[in-house]
Amino acid sequence: MSHAYPLHVYVSRYTKEALLNIVGLHHNTHEPFNTLFEQVASLPYSLLLDTSGSLKSDGRYNIMAFSPVSVIEAKGDEVTLVDVSTSKREALLQRPFEAVEQHLHSQLNNVVINADADFDTSHLPFIVGVAGMAGYDTGRFYEALPSVAKDDYAMPDFTVGLYLRSLIEDTQTGHIYYCSVDKAPLTSFFAAPDSSKKVATDTVPSDFKLTTPFTSNLSKHEYKKSLATIGGYLRAGDCYQVNMAQRFTASYEGNIWQAYCELRNQNQAPFSAYFNLPDGCIASISPERFLRVKDGIVETKPIKGTRPRFKNPLKDKASADSLLSAEKDRSENLMIVDLLRNDISKHCKPHSVKVPALFALESYEAVHHLVSTITGELNETASPLELLAAAFPGGSITGAPKIRAMEVIDELEPHRRNIYCGSVFYMGYRKDMDSSICIRTVLAENNRLHCWAGGGIVLDSVPSEEYQETLDKVSKILPVLESINQ
């Protein structure tokens, strides 16, 4: 299912000032790119990939994609192709990533870029392509896993669209690029708030606020009891590391976009994302890259090892130093480095997989992290989506060996994870790909918010410390959400 004729994509470049003039927004608009996205945020399948002002992990480009032509959706054991304009649904036999490759990305085999003026587009990510989310339980399409944990979500396990329209912000130059296949004017989608041309729902969502406090699906006692069970498996040699999480849930009302903006401003995470779906919404402020493929080079950056941040500079440095010197955290990190080296080797050239950075410190608003970097050269016969499927879900949020760790997770966590520890990703028409691990992520559906936190459990883990680490990880999420409009 590919285009026999060239697919022409038209790219226009604007300064922020020129773009704001075209759509009639004030020049003093704070975060103009996000202000533009707000006008399409309520449309089904609108997606924002947001560096949140962070320069970590080569953060440079912000991408918004909206109005997809078609979507691949998966839930349970069913995979469906959705025609967005007609709502026609077709059941497919392929697994999710393969369905995206065959039914969506194959339509981009003959793209021709037409720039409005003589400017370079080769440095831009995406332009047009496939993008969306693969929840943790997408892994069930690729591995035989038990079904103990409760699936109480309306949200699909997997939703990826074919986007032939995007806006891309280069935060280094300040330019914003509008990419489309039909030359539809920007004012068809974006206009001043009082304009009749604005595309939005008929009613403006009310202000966001929680209507109940957050509660966990595991008490402290139950969480520590689960760690004791994992300890038994570890001592028996059944596995070496298991990532155990708890889920926090609260009721809410109002505008999730408002909540996302507050979270991204306070966390400045380089892999932040907002994805509006018919059944709910994902607001992610993830600091973690899963897999990137650029010019044939594969990169993955697993996070393993966490310490809290402190306002006092001396205490904060002591916390970072304790992480850098902690044998437990280094051994946790090394286990996942080995797992990911094996995962990406399946689709990389022989002897090309390297570890250029081991146990590096990265500091975020709430916590310090220990991060390693693994690279490789993608086989010329392999697709980045094949690589993603083979490595999914990420080893940093499962454990080792991966399949046995996932079995233990399903046994001990009361509910399935859905988007938590899944991925938000894109692959452009040139097969450039980037993806996150969806930690520090909020799922909103049916007027309920879910947010998770977990950690890698190894033989010398201390249960009380592991429990506290989960709370540290959401210390810039739950309190922020609780404070909005209260």
Q: Which residues contact 206 (CB under 8 A, 6 or more apart)?
A: 253, 254, 255
Is residue 454 within 8 A of residue 409, CB to CB? The reply is no
Question: Does position 318 have pLDDT exceeding 80, yes or no?
Answer: yes
Mean pLDDT across 183-205 = 65
Cα 87 from chain centroid? 26
Mean pLDDT across 371-390 = 96
- Sorting pLDDT into bands at 50, 70 and 90, what band is 204? low
What's the confidence (pLDDT) of residue 196? 47
DSSP code of residue 100? I
Is residue 417 within 8 A of residue 451, CB to CB? The reply is no
User: Strands 47-50 and 176-180: what pairing?
Assistant: unpaired
What's the confidence (pLDDT) of residue 117? 74
Is residue 451 within 8 A of residue 263, CB to CB? The reply is no
- Sorting pLDDT into bands at 50, 70 and 90, what band is 192? low
Is residue 59 within 8 A of residue 264, CB to CB? The reply is no
Q: Which helix (H) or strand (E) holds 38?
A: helix 32-38
- Sorting pLDDT into bands at 50, 70 and 90, what band is 198? very low
Is residue 246 within 8 A of residue 453, CB to CB? The reply is yes
Mean pLDDT across 261-283 = 96
DSSP code of residue 102? I
CB half-sphere exposure, 224, CA atoms < 13 A: 9
Question: Does position 2 have pLDDT exceeding 80, yes or no?
Answer: no
- Sorting pLDDT into bands at 50, 70 and 90, what band is 352? very high
* pLDDT greater at residue 189 or residue 74: 74
Question: Does position 202 have pLDDT exceeding 60, yes or no?
Answer: no
* pLDDT greater at residue 440 or residue 200: 440
* pLDDT greater at residue 306 or residue 30: 306
Q: Which residues contact 37 (CB under 8 A, 6 or more apart)?
A: 46, 48, 64, 167, 274
What's the confidence (pLDDT) of residue 180? 96
Mean pLDDT across 251-271 = 95
From 55-59, 223-227, 422-426, the region with the lowest mean pLDDT: 55-59
Question: Does position 398 have pLDDT exceeding 60, yes or no?
Answer: yes
What's the confidence (pLDDT) of residue 3? 56
Question: Length of the chain in residues, anyone?
Answer: 486
Mean pLDDT across 274-283 = 97
Q: Rounded to whole angstroms, how far apart are CA atoms 369 and 467?
A: 17
Q: Which residues contact 29 (CB under 8 A, 6 or more apart)?
A: 20, 35
Question: Does position 119 have pLDDT exceeding 80, yes or no?
Answer: yes
Question: Does position 456 have pLDDT exceeding 50, yes or no?
Answer: yes
- Sorting pLDDT into bands at 50, 70 and 90, what band is 197? very low
pLDDT digits (tens, 9 = 90+) for 75-103: 999 999 999 999 999 999 999 999 999 99
From 16-25, 145-154, 227-236, 431-440, the region with the lowest mean pLDDT: 16-25
Mean pLDDT, the chain, rounded, equals 93
User: Catalytic residue numbers?
Assistant: 288, 304
Q: Which two tokens stand for residue 174?
A: 């300040």
From 64-73, 186-195, 213-222, the region with the lowest mean pLDDT: 186-195
What's the confidence (pLDDT) of residue 195? 47
pLDDT digits (tens, 9 = 90+) for 55-65: 777 889 999 99
